[in-house]
A and B are shown apart, each in its own frame.
Chain A
Amino acid sequence: MLETLDPKTARIIPLTEATEPGFGVYVHWPFCAAKCPYCDFNSHVRHQQVDQARFVAAFKAEMAAARALSGPRTVTSIFLGGGTPSLMEPATVDAVLSQIGQLWHMPDGIEITMEANPSSVEATRFRGYRAAGVNRVSLGVQALNNRDLKWLGRLHDVEDALKAIRLAREIFPRMSFDLIYARPGQTVEAWADELRQAVDLAVDHLSLYQLTIEEGTPFFGLHKAGKITVPDDDMSAELYEATQAITAEIGMPAYEVSNHAAPGAESRHNLTYWRYGDYAGIGPGAHGRLTSGGEKFATATERHPETWLAKVETEGCGFVDCESLAREEQADELLLMGLRLREGVDLARWQALSGRDLDPAREDFLIEQGFIERLGNSRLRCTPKGMLVLDAVVADLAC
């Protein structure tokens, strides 16, 4: 039975309410102190001071453009991502959040998450962010041993990470941190040890990603040249399964492929993505999904920070794409995002968008093989076995 605990009231809330996608605002801070060799995100290193006031003005302008498209909405979450948003001055964060409150309805107490790197953490800045309204922090810890941290190109060591976690727990009501696993040569035992340590440090949320060699990153070239050997599929599967077992055991089961939380402690913002809700994507290289006049628009902005800045300053917004998605495209997105969730997808919603039913033979076969299951009449989700081959399952169902 699918159910969710409301963290405040501890009452079991019904499915329909629990899976309401909501409306999120994402703001991208595109700068990092250093570029990590595995990262293909839109992040840039600048040696001169970044003029944050100019960025604030541009964020505000672009948010106004998004607001024009979205119309009045109630914001259910805000996410400050990057890059390294903890390089922002607290005043910058404060200005951004205030502007969101000006443009949309922003109830008190909504989830406001900020990503932070352990190396850029100072108690005073954390307090500043908290004062500006940030109530959840997501730390890029990535590993709990110094050798791997160094290999991953991180600027912090384990001690910094522990300090940052302590500080975050002290200052923010909610916190989570990320780890990257399936590193070269990593054994299931070594990872299990590290993960158990992490679990002890965590409050109620962890993001655990398998290392992916992304095109265009330094790791990609090294991997191609045979200088990096990542665990093969069988090993990756074993590591993944160990991860599922350990987190479930301590009460932080996966609610998404790589995200683990105690019931009720899920990231509200990320749920909006996976439940295929609307979100405004603000800042260089940000993507959004905004419904307007019965159409769903996919927006994307200029990736290069200074080019984006100039574009916003001259044109009022940095959109390079604002495409109305065909219903079939929306159906695909709904499926590929929604099946990532343990709660699965609402098939009635998928059918309404795609205008068809799932191929019964294909569905039966996948059920019989133990990859997917039905929940009630209208929900479909991956089994833990199916989650391991999710991309293949989605391709099978969507095609």
Chain B
Amino acid sequence: MSTTTRTPLDHIRNFSIVAHIDHGKSTLADRLIQSTGGLAEREMSEQVLDSMDIERERGITIKAQTVRLHYKANNGEVYVLNLIDTPGHVDFAYEVSRSLSACEGSLLVVDASQGVEAQTLANVYQAIDNNHELVTVLNKIDLPAAEPDRIKQQIEEVIGIDASDAVLISAKTGLGIPDVLEAIVNHLPPPTSEGGETAPLKALLVDSWYDTYLGVMVLVRIIEGVLSKGQTIRMMGTDARYTVERVGVLTPKMVAMDSLGPGEIGFITASIKEVADTRVGDTITEDKKPTAHALPGFKPAQPVVFCGLFPVDAADFEDLRAAMGKLRLNDASFSFEMESSAALGFGFRCGFLGLLHLEIIQERLEREFDLDLIATAPSVVYRLTMTDGSERELHNPADMPDVVKISEIQEPWIKATILTPDDYLGGILKLCQDRRGIQTELTYVGKRAMLTYELPLNEVVFDFYDRLKSISKGYASFDYHLHGYREGNLVKMSIMVNGEPVDALSMLVHRSAAEKRGRDMCEKLKDLIPRHMFKIPIQAAIGGNVIARETISAMRKDVTAKCYGGDATRKRKLLDKQKEGKKRMRQFGKVDIPQEAFIAALKMGDE
């Protein structure tokens, strides 16, 4: 491939795709790659851009991916189309905003039968915030349930954009794909560059990831100037300097270039040790000839949700540490520090961007590194004001200082948007109300209600999403963003099993919810902890006050009636299994709590 001729700006289109999960974003991306010849037929696996197993299985994008397409338009000109596939989830809102700021336009993909969802809204507003031109694409029009006219109307009503010339496609069958490509060229604007090629280098760090062979790879969008091989660059946020080793583009295969010019999107490598050394949103400039102003909007990633991750088998602790280190290589937004729990032994307190991020990291640790983990209840970051006037952050309920030393506890709140068929509205209103929500808006779009609520995040990390899904049979969609801190009447609730506190189960809860939560937890544990040879009291307490109590009665009978010469082997093997099982149990005083009980108790999914 030619690496010398620079593509003129008006022949470049940088765009991303905005869509709700399952509305076909990745399938569309695959089609675009396929029809512009980015990959041979045999190289196409389903959803090329979602490279992690989890991404493909869940149908979500976690890391931003990019692909450069060469498209010969109907007007005979060849265009370079750079698609940045953004993570679609609220946990990665900041990453999404940076990816969007690297583009001038977006394809708004909406399922032609399902219509607009909460996530579509959140992302489309972000795109609009980034001054994107939008091309509306209605997908899955081959399905019998497709109602393009109704959905167009809905888009106009809900989002307030003109959807009359929406492109109708089926990414699955390939129908309408050429129209999408033409719309990109004709309706999305080309990038602009004030200073052009001669200006000092100014590039946006869009994303970075770790490649086993090449080390840290950085995805960049050139705003002004030229980024070339051999150049010494400087990250303006961290002030770190590197020498550029490789420059190239992804088609999605890696193709080396000598340089990248204004408007272009590509990758570089520069002997950067860790992904943590690169900050999404940072400005890259040339060290010798720096640009005067960094790009606006840069901020470091802040963990929002914390939880403890412990190995089921204490012997796996070092493996867990190594695995976390490896994951962090590729995900700087995930943080961890060592923690020790009387209940769970040694593990790590980990910080995440949100619940999905937590789930993904946990799943990757278990799957890619073959670790069995116990996760404690997710907790948010509380701000404590002490009586001496000092302030501190609390990431772990177990670290809660003595209440008499605390003058105020503040908790994070979110602003949540929920879209739901109105059949489920009653149940959802009740759920939000139960979770201390404050309704700020309730509007209707056809038969769908759009709700806006302010909610304490700690009520949301606690099975809110699962409940919402079950109440709405999966039809409601939900999105949120952080909305500041507020004072809360919060108390630490401890759980005691047979008189021994189980630190991993302690949690900060709102005073008004403590009793119910305590009762639920005790009842749940009663069912989850197997009968022992003696009776076991289970208590929930605030300070020294027991607020709920259950008792597991003693096992009355557990003896094999018949056991003769032929049964010795079978019984021994059963005993071996029990021994294995005991390894997976945690001892609290005399009580063995199976790991499954922990997982289930910490989930509290179905009340």
Contact = CB atoms under 8 A, between A and B. Distances in A.
Interface of A: 24, 26, 209-212, 233-234, 236-237, 240, 257-258, 270, 272-273, 276, 279, 281, 285-289, 298, 300, 329, 332-333, 336-337, 340, 365-366, 369, 371, 387-396, 398-399
A291 B201 CA distance: 83
B556 interface: yes
Contact of A340 (B532, B563, B582): B563
Contact of B565 (A210, A281, A371, A389): A281
B579 interface: yes
Nearest to A81: B564
B513 interface: no
A289 B565 contact: yes
Contact of A398 (B563, B569, B579): B579
Interface of B: 532-534, 555-569, 571-572, 575-576, 578-579, 582, 590
Given A273-B565, A371-B533, A399-B579, A390 B558 contact: yes
A286 B564 CA distance: 11
Contact of A287 (B560, B566, B578): B566
Nearest to A394: B575
Nearest to B565: A273
B561 A388 contact: no
Given A398-B575, A399-B578, A399-B582, A391 B568 contact: no
B537 to A, nearest CB: 16
A300 B569 contact: yes
A285 B566 contact: yes
A389 B557 contact: yes
Query: B534, B557, B562, B567 — which one has the most chain A CB atoms within 10 A of its CB?
Result: B557
A65 to B, nearest CB: 17
Contacts of A286: 566
Contacts of A369: 533-534
B572 A236 contact: no
Contacts of A258: 561-562
B557 A257 contact: no
A279 B578 contact: no
B557 A270 contact: no
A399 B572 CA distance: 12
B533 A393 contact: yes
B569 A395 contact: no
A336 B565 contact: no
A388 B557 contact: yes
A391 B558 CA distance: 6
Q: Which 6 A-B pairs have the closest CB atoms?
A: A237-B556, A390-B559, A287-B566, A237-B557, A273-B565, A233-B556
Contacts of A333: 568, 571-572
Nearest to A274: B563
A287 B569 CA distance: 9
B568 A289 contact: yes
A336 B571 contact: yes
B555 A26 contact: no
B590 A257 contact: no
Contact of A392 (B558, B568, B569, B590): B558
Contacts of A365: 590
B26 to A, nearest CB: 44
Contacts of A340: 563
A300 B569 CA distance: 10
12 contacts: A233-B555, A258-B561, A272-B565, A273-B565, A287-B567, A298-B568, A336-B571, A337-B568, A371-B533, A388-B558, A389-B556, A399-B579
Given A212-B561, A212-B562, A257-B563, A287 B555 contact: no
Nearest to A181: B561
Nearest to B530: A392
